[in-house]
Amino acid sequence: MSQAATRRVLSGIQPTADSFHLGNYLGALRQWVALQDSYETFYCVVDLHAITVPTEPADLRRRSRRAAAQLVAMGVDPARSALFVQSHVPEHAELAWVLGCLTGFGEANQMTQFKDKSAKQGTAAASVGLFTYPILQAADILLYSPPPGAGELLVPVGEDQRQHLELSRTLAQRFNHRYGETFVLPDAHIPKATAKITDLQEPTAKMSKSSSTPQGIIDVLDEPGVARRKIMRAITDTGTEVTADEQNKPGVTNLLRIFSALAGEPIEDLERRYAGTGYGQFKKDLAQLTVDTLAPIRERTEKLLADDDQLDRILGQGAERASAVATRTMAIVRDRVGFVGRG
Ligand code: AMP
Ligand code: TRP
């Protein structure tokens, strides 16, 4: 009898803002929802990652709850997915330690996101936690590995996480080589069309909560009027044609990418529809589509946030399901590494 393959998905998102933005939603979170249909899914609000930069305790607590509520509101279904808070499953930190001992200092020092993030405050002032952040991320992922040879492990993220995913694969391989086959190599799941949504005011830069101005970023929880205004005022390029041209028309191209993803229509169809109409009608329709997509998410989020007990119950159940897998993996890891078993 052949054993059924275990097909798992793991992803995480930091609770570092009161609202997710459209880049998070289109680049990653929509995939989280879609993958529930065919995978065993684990989704994690990564609060340990959030404290790699100075964070107010009250903000962290509020944002962790808001993150969970938004995920449920977007369609992460607690009946099908384990939705949990990273710090509720201490094996994440424990495996990170073991993997950290397999990571070269020079290797960790290659991570471009650390360089970008630490450049703001100066490397000397950056925390060691920020430096080892990608190793904790590798632990998040590998804890949910099916047994090697018996499944797959997919990680839906945006383009900016590609290098971290490579490190996870390298560390899985190294662990397997040193201690015996333990982990499958995780695969990044980065749909090209939405891998990088850009800033509405600076369309060659990534839409980002840390570097975009409020005008450049659509928050999932923006009031409808606010979201509408931001789209109407988005930078468009010289000319009047609604056509995709990354080099010469990055602004319009980004709006086309957003429109296409929200409507589920190919960019070419949109180009045809708006041929000769100018930017005005195109933006108006995109603004309406954006508001129609986000308004129900916002309403559901507010309802969920009004019932702390229900949200805590969801997260409690999620942590239980995640723990069942994480403790099993960690028991194998401890044994392979040579830690003496507790009597
Ligand atoms: P962050 O908010 O940077 O922690 O990102 C959370 C998730 O959203 C990650 O999977 C990112 O890769 C993805 N993401 C963030 N910004 C963008 C963007 N502008 N376009 C596409 N995906 C993004
Ligand atoms: N580093 C990711 C980001 O900034 C968040 C993250 C933490 C993550 N752990 C993860 C993503 C595990 C995927 C899998 O978006």
Report DSSP letters for 135-178, one per residue. HHHHHHHHTTPPPTTSEEEEEE--GGGHHHHHHHHHHHHHHHHH
Calculate how far, in angstroms, residue 24's C-alpha sits from the geometric centre of ligand 1. 4
- Please name the helix (run of DSSP H) or strand (run of DSSP E) that holds residue 13, with its range, or none: strand 6-13
Query: Annotated catalytic, 117?
Result: yes
Q: Which long-range contacts (CB under 8 A, 24 or more apart) does 97-104 make?
A: 98/139, 98/175, 98/333, 98/337, 99/135, 99/138, 99/139, 99/142, 99/171, 99/175, 100/132, 100/135, 102/171, 102/174, 102/175, 102/178, 103/132, 103/135, 103/167, 103/171
pLDDT digits (tens, 9 = 90+) for 307-325: 999 999 999 999 999 999 9
- Which pTM does this prediction carry? 0.96
**Is the pLDDT confidence value at 1 over 70?**
no
Residues with CB under 6 A from ligand 2: 10-14, 46, 49, 137, 140-141, 155, 157, 161, 164
Testing ligand 1's pocket by substitution, the residue of 11, 18, 24, 219 carrying the most ligand atoms inside 8 A of its CB is 24
pLDDT of residue 120: 80
Structure tokens belonging to residue 298: 């916002």
Catalytic residue among 115, 206, 249, 283: 206
Q: Which of 186-190, 231-235, 238-242, 319-323 has the lowest mean pLDDT?
A: 238-242
Q: CA 226 to CA 291: how far, in whole Å?
A: 9
- Phi/psi for 288 (5° steps) reads -65, -45
pLDDT digits (tens, 9 = 90+) for 20-49: 999 999 999 999 999 999 999 999 999 999
**Is the pLDDT confidence value at 249 over 70?**
yes
**Is the pLDDT confidence value at 329 over 60?**
yes
Give the distance, in angstroms, between the CA of residue 88 and the centroid of all CA atoms in the same chain.
19
Find out whether 4 and 204 touch, Cβ atoms under 8 Å.
Answer: no
- Average of per-residue pLDDT across 4-15: 94
Q: CA 234 to CA 199: how far, in whole Å?
A: 9
pLDDT of residue 5: 84
Query: Annotated catalytic, 206?
Result: yes
**Is the pLDDT confidence value at 88 over 80?**
yes
Find out whether 142 and 171 touch, Cβ atoms under 8 Å.
Answer: yes
pLDDT digits (tens, 9 = 90+) for 136-181: 999 999 999 999 988 999 999 999 999 999 999 999 999 999 999 9
Query: Annotated catalytic, 283?
Result: no
Calculate how far, in angstroms, residue 240's C-alpha sits from the geometric centre of ligand 2. 39
- β partners of residue 338: none
pLDDT of residue 3: 57
Calculate how far, in angstroms, residue 134's C-alpha sits from the geometric centre of ligand 2. 8
Burial of 309: CB neighbours in 10 Å, binned 0-12, 13-18, 19+: exposed
Protein residue whose Cα sits closest to atom 9 of ligand 2: 137
Find out whether 20 and 64 touch, Cβ atoms under 8 Å.
Answer: no
- Average of per-residue pLDDT across 175-200: 96
pLDDT digits (tens, 9 = 90+) for 94-124: 999 999 999 999 999 999 999 988 888 788 8
Q: Looking at the CA of 141, which ligand is closest?
A: 2
